[in-house]
């Protein structure tokens, strides 16, 4: 008990020392004028006397590093967070040694999410924008995965703003997402080892990442409780006993207003798809004999069969669109009609191409590329010039900008295919470019069906896009380390490609598109880690159900902030249709993306206070005695028992009792030996883990 008290005292003492250092540093920083637009004469020294107030606290953050043998090992980082008044929301980060992934983005996002929670609290009168934030990160080795400390940095920032104490027996790992949810991480087993080295008894990890193995490993070896947390609110409760209580929300996701907005467009698009399919079918029947369909010694030219297959696919999409429309799943119906339009358009272009005289086909294709390029530029201007006035138009115009960006990509790909003498491929891309250009207008119009709420300007949109791109960048790099080759990472629709596209859209004056594309990349990067190694269908179903519930909650919270989350509801509906088809990997993504959009929108625009901070105490996890059965020991005892019966009941009991005691002694020796080996291994590869923060800083002076 005295040892524990000494540890706590040492933490407090060190915090006081750090406070002095920070105080001096902050005074120097505050000597500069806060207005960045102030006219300063270069080379002139400015001085100002000012009284400031500040708070700080230090938390542990377990991380993973490589040993000299290139193995992974758990290490402990300390993060000292300081806030000081007379600030303007600036964020400063100092890491030593440097993390493999920059922690500046995690710190900024931590402050952003913490500030949103504080502004939404009816019981808090603090303005987070009037403070500056300092994060000092120290560890024993270059760590992997800076984002995994984002959640604990957020909890610490909230605690400082609201004046909460944080338990030094609780340790956490997990990314922070823009919607306040806790993102998945890797290296949990190694981080459990690190948590034990600083005396932790509770270890918080992202929801859905626990397992029987980790539970048993933590409790059997270290008597540590693993607790899963879904969002920063649950994390804060486990650290401080405080949580933000939200009103119980109920309501339909697919509201009458949403259905009324989507129904006319779904009907119109279905009719267009049906008409184009009929025209493409008729034209195919007219010219099909002109389309090559043979092979020679060197190549296959079964173009007629290929074009016919696109016609069949278009018909299948039409049937799906009609079925979803009849079920009032209008966004899903609209999506399937759109796919049908693309396939029918490709068939139509291809038939027109082969209906030309051979010598005129090239001219036809060149003229088609020129016509669609001109058409695209008209739609592009509409997307760029559309005025964003609030959170609802942000979504519609963001979707329109993304479609314009995709159309531009398809036109470029069509030109490349044409130059490579691949006419059918070129017409496939042209069909996609034409239909993507068409969809720009109706996404702009859909947002007009709802009253715009909240205020957001172009400068704020550009800032958000930059921040979300940075967040996605960290998540992608982190997932590349842990889940390289994941379905969610690679390919045209993977997180890596989405991140590149978001950066291009930001540069090409499509900031709203960049914003949502960065969120999409972030979701897929998170899923690459979260679903790593999962092959049990029941786990996929469970994750999908939980994602559904989370999306439902955030959609309702957005509406509570008077925002209609058009995109979030659309993707939610589409996820339901995929779930009904048991396509759980895709359904999981769309539920998660829906959840991310709705959560990010509601935290970006706090128009009304909808939560109350309350102290409810930290819930202790009830301990159940665990019976861990060693199958090897059991089998041995059975053999001994059988031998004992043969030799006689009395002799058998004696032998059995002796053998059991002997085995238990061997097992104790074996367990003790394993613990010694782990401790010795860590000691050989790195210096001994610090017992507390005071010891840590003594060693690193």
Among 141-155, 289-303, 630-644, 662-676, the range with the most confident prediction by mean pLDDT is 289-303
pLDDT average, residue stretch 317-340 = 97
pLDDT average, residue stretch 429-449 = 93
Q: Where are the domains of the chain?
A: 54-245, 252-355, 366-454, 457-522, 534-603, 631-699
> What pLDDT score does 148 carry?
87
Task: Show the tokens assigned to 354.
Answer: 């082969």
pLDDT in tens, 557-573: 999 988 999 999 999 99
Question: For residue 427, is pLDDT > 90?
Answer: yes
pLDDT average, residue stretch 663-675 = 46
Q: Is 32 in a helix, a strand, or coil?
A: coil
Question: For residue 8, is pLDDT > 80?
Answer: no
- pLDDT-derived band at 102 (thresholds 50, 70, 90) equals low
pLDDT in tens, 366-411: 999 999 999 999 999 999 899 998 999 999 999 999 999 999 999 9
Give the pairing of strands 293-295 and 175-176.
unpaired
Question: For residue 511, is pLDDT > 70?
Answer: yes
Q: Are 105 and 470 in contact (CB under 8 A)?
A: yes
pTM of the complete model: 0.80
- Which is nearest to 149 in space by CA: 92, 206, 220, 208? 206
What stretches of 577-687 adopt beta strand conformation (E)? 611-615
Question: For residue 109, is pLDDT > 70?
Answer: yes
pLDDT average, residue stretch 655-669 = 48
Q: Are 601 and 563 in contact (CB under 8 A)?
A: yes
Q: Which of 65-69, 174-178, 190-194, 360-364 has the lowest mean pLDDT?
A: 65-69
Topology classification of domain 54-245: Ribosomal Protein S5; domain 2 (3.30.230)
- pLDDT-derived band at 354 (thresholds 50, 70, 90) equals very high
Task: Show the tokens assigned to 422.
Answer: 């691949």
pLDDT average, residue stretch 584-613 = 89
Find the largest Cα–Cα distance for the chain: 103
Q: How far apart are CA 85 and CA 465, in angstroms?
A: 28
> What pLDDT score does 80 carry?
96
Q: How far apart are CA 537 and CA 228, in angstroms?
A: 21
Q: How far apart are CA 62 and CA 396, in angstroms?
A: 41
Q: Are 402 and 516 in contact (CB under 8 A)?
A: yes
Q: How far apart are CA 439 and CA 170, in angstroms?
A: 50
Q: Are 411 and 372 in contact (CB under 8 A)?
A: yes
Q: How far apart are CA 174 and CA 181, in angstroms?
A: 10
pLDDT average, residue stretch 416-425 = 96
Q: How far apart are CA 57 and CA 362, in angstroms?
A: 70
Question: For residue 424, is pLDDT > 50?
Answer: yes
pLDDT average, residue stretch 439-462 = 89
Helix (H) or strand (E) holding 152: helix 150-162
pLDDT average, residue stretch 439-467 = 90
- pLDDT-derived band at 679 (thresholds 50, 70, 90) equals very low
Q: Higher confidence at residue 669 or residue 581? A: 581
pLDDT in tens, 25-75: 544 444 444 444 456 788 988 888 888 899 999 999 998 888 888 888 899
> What pLDDT score does 178 carry?
92
Provide the percentage of residues in the chain whose pLDDT is more than 90. Answer: 64
Question: For residue 450, is pLDDT > 70?
Answer: yes
- pLDDT-derived band at 173 (thresholds 50, 70, 90) equals very high
Helix (H) or strand (E) holding 304: helix 303-326
- Supply the Cα-derived Rg of the chain in whole angstroms: 30
Question: For residue 633, is pLDDT > 70?
Answer: no
**What mean pLDDT is reported for the chain?**
84
Question: For residue 666, is pLDDT > 80?
Answer: no
Task: Show the tokens assigned to 380.
Answer: 């592009």
Provide the percentage of residues in the chain whose pLDDT is more than 70. Answer: 81
Other CB atoms within 10 Å distance of the CB of residue 127: 13
Give the pairing of strands 202-206 and 225-229.
parallel
> What pLDDT score does 69 carry?
83
Q: How far apart are the first and last CA of the chain?
A: 28
What strands lie across the sheet with 170-172, from one edge to the other? Answer: 170-172, 202-206, 225-229
> What pLDDT score does 628 carry?
38
pLDDT average, residue stretch 81-109 = 85
> What pLDDT score does 453 carry?
86
Q: How far apart are CA 91 and CA 83, in angstroms?
A: 10
pLDDT average, residue stretch 302-329 = 96
> What pLDDT score does 144 carry?
57
> What pLDDT score does 481 carry?
82
């Amino acid at each position: 008990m005295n040892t524990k008290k000494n540890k706590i005292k040492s933490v407090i003492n060190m915090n006081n020392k750090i406070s002095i250092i920070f105080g001096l540093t902050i005074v120097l920083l505050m000597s500069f004028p806060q207005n960045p637009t102030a006219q300063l004469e270069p080379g002139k020294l400015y001085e100002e006397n000012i009284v400031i107030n500040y708070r700080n606290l230090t938390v542990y953050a377990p991380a993973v590093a490589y040993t000299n043998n290139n193995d992974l090992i758990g290490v402990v980082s300390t993060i000292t967070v300081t806030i000081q008044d007379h600030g303007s929301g600036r964020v400063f980060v100092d890491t030593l040694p440097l993390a493999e992934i920059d922690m500046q983005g995690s710190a900024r996002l931590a402050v952003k999410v913490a500030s949103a929670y504080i502004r939404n609290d009816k019981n808090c009168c603090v303005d987070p924008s009037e403070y500056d934030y300092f994060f000092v990160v120290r560890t024993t080795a270059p760590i992997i995965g800076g984002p995994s400390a984002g959640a604990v940095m957020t909890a610490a920032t909230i605690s400082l703003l609201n004046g909460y104490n944080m338990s030094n027996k609780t340790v956490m790992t997990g990314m922070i997402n823009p919607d306040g949810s806790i993102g998945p991480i890797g290296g949990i087993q190694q981080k459990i080892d690190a948590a034990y080295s600083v005396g932790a008894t509770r270890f918080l990890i992202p929801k859905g990442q626990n397992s029987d193995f980790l539970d048993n490993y933590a409790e059997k070896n270290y008597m540590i409780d693993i607790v899963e947390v879904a969002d920063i609110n649950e994390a804060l409760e486990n650290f401080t006993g405080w949580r933000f209580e939200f009103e119980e929300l109920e309501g339909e996701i697919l509201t009458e207003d949403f259905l009324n907005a989507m129904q006319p467009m779904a009907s119109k698009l279905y009719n267009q798809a049906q008409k184009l399919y009929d025209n493409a079918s008729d034209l195919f029947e007219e010219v099909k004999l002109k389309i090559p369909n043979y092979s020679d010694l060197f190549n296959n030219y079964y173009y007629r069969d290929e074009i016919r297959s696109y016609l069949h696919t278009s018909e299948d999409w039409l049937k799906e669109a009609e079925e979803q429309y009849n079920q009032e799943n209008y966004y899903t119906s609209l999506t399937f009609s759109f796919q049908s339009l693309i396939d029918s358009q490709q068939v139509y272009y291809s038939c027109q191409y082969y209906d030309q005289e051979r010598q005129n086909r090239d001219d036809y294709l060149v003229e088609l590329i020129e016509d669609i390029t001109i058409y695209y530029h008209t739609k592009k201007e509409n997307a760029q010039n559309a005025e964003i006035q609030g959170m609802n138009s942000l979504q519609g115009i963001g979707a329109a900008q993304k479609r314009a960006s995709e159309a531009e990509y398809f036109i470029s790909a069509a030109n490349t295919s044409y130059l490579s003498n691949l006419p059918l491929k070129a017409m496939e891309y042209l069909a996609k470019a034409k239909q993507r250009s068409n969809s720009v207008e109706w996404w702009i119009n859909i947002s007009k069906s709802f009253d715009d709420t909240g205020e957001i300007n172009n400068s704020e949109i550009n800032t958000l896009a930059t921040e979300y791109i940075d967040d996605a960048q960290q998540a992608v790099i982190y997932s590349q380390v842990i889940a390289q080759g994941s379905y969610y990472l690679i390919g045209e629709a993977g997180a890596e490609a989405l991140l590149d596209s978001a950066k291009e859209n930001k540069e090409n004056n499509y900031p709203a598109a960049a914003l949502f594309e960065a969120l999409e990349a972030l979701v897929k990067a998170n899923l690459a880690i979260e679903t790593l190694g999962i092959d049990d269908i029941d786990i996929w179903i469970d994750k999908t159900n939980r994602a559904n519930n989370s999306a439902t909650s955030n959609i309702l919270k957005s509406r509570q902030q008077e925002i209609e989350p058009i995109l979030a509801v659309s993707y939610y509906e589409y996820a339901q249709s995929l779930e009904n088809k048991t396509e759980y990997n895709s359904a999981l993504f769309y539920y998660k993306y829906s959840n991310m959009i709705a959560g990010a929108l509601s935290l970006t625009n706090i128009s009304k206070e909808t939560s109350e901070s309350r102290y409810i105490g930290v819930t202790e996890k009830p301990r159940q005695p665990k019976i861990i059965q060693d199958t090897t020991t059991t089998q041995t005892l059975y053999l001994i028992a059988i031998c004992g019966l043969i030799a006689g009941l009395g002799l058998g009991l004696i032998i059995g009792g002796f053998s059991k005691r002997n085995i238990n002694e061997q097992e104790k020796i074996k367990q003790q030996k394993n613990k010694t080996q782990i401790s010795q291994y860590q000691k050989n590869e790195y210096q001994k883990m610090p017992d507390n923060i005071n010891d840590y800083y003594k060693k690193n002076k």
